């Protein structure tokens, strides 16, 4: 694969952004959609070509230097791309799922007045995400890292005439800045420790010169993980992601499935050498991942907004990925990133199809019986629900159970937490499915009159994602099920240095096939029983969640209000900062006014005095000149 074609992978979406961003509204809507979509589809085609060329060439990673960028003393930061197994997998996810979301957006956003701006922002989002995963060093990664943060702000607050949506966009932006500070401190510490930010140099020096548990490596990995907590929405920096539902539904699909939230997972896997040298950091990663998975899943059980349920589902699934990373199961976590991209994009786009048919209604209590009116949406949504519940043989079963198997070996308590989270996931997802598509319609007569299946531009991406959600897990069939785990074999070279640095952590699994069958059986049985309970409650008994006005039990109220974490943050951080800002503003304004006023009066006084010396009399000017010459002569004589 030539370097020029590789450069086109991120540049094509950037070109789409520039054309649509500068040309709209002069470009017709049809052309806008075609330009924005073709830019990403072409990028996907080039990614596939790069992948094939890489595999055919022996799967050896290589660096593509573009130009010398920053040189300060001994520090040299080139602008270059790194092509290896991890970057290629991310390229395929970003451009492949991104292409389907762009196609879907043509139908979903067709009547929106900001159609051109929307496609421009989507293209820019993908450009920065591609830059993030292609960069050969942490600084280029950081450019993409900040770029996706900017684009999330623009897209979450896309409908900027709504104050609540603007607040959600600001919340996402500010909370990510907290995580980004940790990421920056990690980069600075890497520079101070290794004198470079290039992955190849940093990792080789770390593997050769540092022992397992070195305090410097632990510090670096903790700083980097703070950044990952912000981008990938882990406790305590997770509250921005559910609020990100304020943006158009294709944005939610893009953020949750293919771009922003996967950045933290990517960064940890990319830094596997450093994290393998810091087992104490991995313990923290695993614990926070497990807590997030369980915490978010419990909130999802009582949510009634179709997109909010999916949002908390994403937070929970990201927790599973970090649990896998904590157990040093890097390939398993990447496997779940891939399968999650398929079924989560499908779930959000399916939810968008429902919202589109329901005239923008998002409350599942006002839905019901939609499977007859929206058959394609129902079938594809059902496949995605089955996949995310971890039921065989769809994609989520293989990736989730592989993570749980590694976690079981690493920490039995975390495994129990993972199984409990799986039970909750199955329940709230089937609850969502049954309340939306089964029973009788509970909306208004006008909504029922307008119910219809979405256009082909929206249903075709659903069908493609449904196929991927059903079959995508077969790239990682474990040996216990007579598979070869092609993904694990493909990614194996990424960990050669980590195995050198910490060989004890990369031993073969100690689980026998019978133990793996038992663990699979437990998790599948738990998820299946949970789905059956949801069926009995919401289909056979026809239960419907109570309206918000109805009194709830104390526990239900706490969970329904998301454990009041937002209110806690507001009381502890937001209100005190606002109060201090108002105080400083009041006193600061007074002080500044006094200082500026005093300076102005002094200047006026001095100007008034100096003005009197300008009399216009030639004699006085000559006299002043003579006095000046005399003073200068005396000054010289005295010196």
One-character DSSP codes across 324-371: HHHTT-HHHHHHHHHHHHHHHHHHHHHHHHHHHHTTT--BGGG---TT
Q: What is the Rg, in whole angstroms, of the alpha carbon atoms belonging to the chain?
A: 29
Cα(157)–Cα(164) distance, integer angstroms: 9
* Other C-beta atoms lying within 10 Å of the C-beta of residue 488: 20
Q: Does the pLDDT value for residue 227 go beyond 70? A: yes
Q: Does the pLDDT value for residue 170 go beyond 60? A: yes
Cis bond before residue 205 (omega within 30° of 0)? no
Q: Does the pLDDT value for residue 364 go beyond 90? A: yes
Mean pLDDT value across residues 580-595: 80
The enclosing H or E element of 141 equals: helix 138-156
Q: Does the pLDDT value for residue 433 go beyond 70? A: yes
Q: Does the pLDDT value for residue 407 go beyond 80? A: yes
User: Residue 228: what pLDDT?
Assistant: 96
Higher local confidence (pLDDT), 44 or 3: 44
At a CB cut-off of 8 Å and minimum separation 6, what does 124 contact?
13, 14, 17, 21, 147, 151, 154
Q: How many residues does the chain have?
A: 639
Q: Which residue has the tokens 């896998």?
A: 324
User: Residue 630: what pLDDT?
Assistant: 86
Strand partners, 363: 305
Cα(132)–Cα(57) distance, integer angstroms: 24
Cα(115)–Cα(105) distance, integer angstroms: 9
Cis bond before residue 25 (omega within 30° of 0)? yes
Q: Does the pLDDT value for residue 508 go beyond 60? A: no
User: Residue 509: what pLDDT?
Assistant: 65
369: left (phi over 0), alpha (psi -120 to 50) or beta: left
User: Residue 507: what pLDDT?
Assistant: 54
Tokens standing for residue 325: 């990373």
Cα(312)–Cα(217) distance, integer angstroms: 32
* Other C-beta atoms lying within 10 Å of the C-beta of residue 359: 13
Q: Does the pLDDT value for residue 505 go beyond 80? A: no
Return the SS3 of 77.
strand
Cα(312)–Cα(559) distance, integer angstroms: 12
Mean pLDDT value across residues 162-183: 93
Nearest CA to 485 out of 498, 497, 473 is that of: 473
Q: Does the pLDDT value for residue 297 go beyond 90? A: yes
553-562 pLDDT, tens digit each: 899 999 999 9
Q: Does the pLDDT value for residue 482 go beyond 80? A: no
Cα(85)–Cα(82) distance, integer angstroms: 10
Cβ(360)–Cβ(375) below 8 Å:
no
Cα(583)–Cα(560) distance, integer angstroms: 35
Per DSSP, the residues of 437-504 read HSS---S-HHHHHT--PPPHHHHHHHHHHHHHHHHGGGGG--GGGT---HHHHHHGGGGHHHHHH-GG
User: Residue 40: what pLDDT?
Assistant: 97
179-211 pLDDT, tens digit each: 999 999 999 999 999 999 999 999 999 999 899
Cα(236)–Cα(230) distance, integer angstroms: 8
Mean pLDDT value across residues 9-25: 90
Q: Does the pLDDT value for residue 153 go beyond 90? A: yes
Q: Does the pLDDT value for residue 2 go beyond 80? A: no
Global pTM? Answer: 0.91
């Amino acid at each position: 694969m030539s370097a020029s074609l590789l450069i086109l992978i991120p540049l094509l979406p950037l070109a789409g952004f520039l054309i649509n961003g500068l040309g709209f509204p002069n470009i017709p809507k049809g052309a806008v959609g075609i330009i924005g979509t073709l830019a990403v589809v072409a990028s996907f085609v080039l990614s596939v070509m790069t992948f094939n060329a890489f595999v055919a060439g022996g799967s050896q990673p290589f660096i593509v230097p573009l130009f010398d960028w920053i040189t300060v003393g001994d520090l040299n930061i080139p602008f270059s791309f790194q092509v290896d197994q991890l970057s290629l997998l991310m390229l395929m996810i970003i451009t492949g799922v991104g292409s389907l979301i762009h196609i879907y957006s043509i139908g979903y956003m067709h009547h929106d007045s900001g159609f051109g701006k929307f496609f421009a922002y989507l293209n820019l989002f993908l450009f920065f995400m591609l830059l993030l995963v292609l960069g050969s060093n942490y600084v280029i990664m950081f450019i993409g890292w900040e770029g996706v943060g900017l684009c999330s702000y623009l897209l979450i607050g896309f409908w900027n005439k709504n104050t609540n949506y603007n607040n959600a966009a600001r919340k996402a932006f500010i909370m990510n800045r907290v995580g980004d500070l940790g990421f920056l401190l990690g980069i600075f510490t890497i520079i101070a420790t290794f004198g470079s930010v290039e992955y190849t140099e940093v990792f080789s020096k770390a593997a050769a010169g540092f022992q397992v548990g070195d305090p410097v490596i632990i510090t670096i990995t903790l700083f980097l993980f703070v950044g990952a907590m912000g981008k990938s929405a882990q406790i305590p920096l997770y509250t921005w992601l559910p609020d990100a539902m304020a943006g158009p539904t294709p944005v939610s699909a893009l953020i949750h499935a293919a771009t922003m939230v996967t950045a933290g997972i990517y960064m940890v896997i990319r830094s596997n050498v450093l994290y393998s040298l810091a087992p104490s950091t991995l313990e923290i990663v695993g614990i926070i991942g497990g807590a997030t998975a369980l915490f978010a899943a419990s909130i999802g059980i009582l949510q009634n907004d179709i997109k909010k349920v999916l949002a908390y589902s994403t937070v929970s699934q990201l927790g599973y990925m970090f649990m896998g990373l904590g157990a040093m199961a890097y390939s398993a976590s990447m496997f779940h990133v891939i399968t999650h991209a398929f079924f989560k994009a499908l779930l959000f786009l399916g939810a968008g199809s429902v919202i589109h048919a329901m005239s923008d209604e998002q409350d599942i209590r006002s839905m019901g019986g939609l499977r007859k009116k929206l058959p394609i949406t129902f079938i594809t949504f059902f496949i995605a629900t089955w996949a995310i519940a971890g039921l065989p043989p769809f994609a989520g079963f293989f990736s989730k159970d592989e993570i749980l198997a590694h976690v079981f070996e690493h920490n039995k308590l975390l495994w129990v937490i993972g199984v409990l989270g799986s039970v909750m996931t199955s329940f709230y997802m089937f609850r969502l499915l049954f309340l939306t598509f089964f029973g009788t319609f509970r909306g208004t007569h006008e909504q029922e009159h307008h119910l219809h299946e979405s256009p082909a531009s929206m249903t075709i991406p659903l069908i493609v994602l449904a196929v991927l959600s059903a079959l995508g897990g077969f790239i990682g069939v474990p040996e216990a099920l007579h598979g070869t785990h092609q993904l694990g074999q493909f990614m194996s070279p990424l960990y050669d240095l980590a195995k050198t640095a910490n060989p004890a952590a990369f031993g073969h699994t100690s689980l026998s096939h019978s133990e793996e069958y038992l663990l699979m059986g437990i998790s599948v049985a738990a998820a299946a029983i949970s789905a059956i309970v949801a069926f009995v409650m919401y289909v056979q008994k026809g239960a419907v969640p109570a309206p918000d006005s109805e009194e709830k039990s104390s526990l239900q109220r706490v969970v329904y209000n998301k454990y009041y974490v937002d209110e806690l943050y507001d009381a502890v951080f937001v209100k005190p900062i606002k109060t201090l800002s108002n105080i400083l503003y009041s006193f600061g304004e007074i002080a500044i006014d006094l200082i500026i006023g005093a300076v102005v009066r002094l200047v006026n006084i001095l100007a008034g005095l100096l003005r009197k010396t300008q009399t216009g009399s030639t004699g006085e000017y000559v006299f002043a000149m003579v006095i000046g010459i005399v003073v200068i002569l005396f000054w010289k004589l005295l010196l």
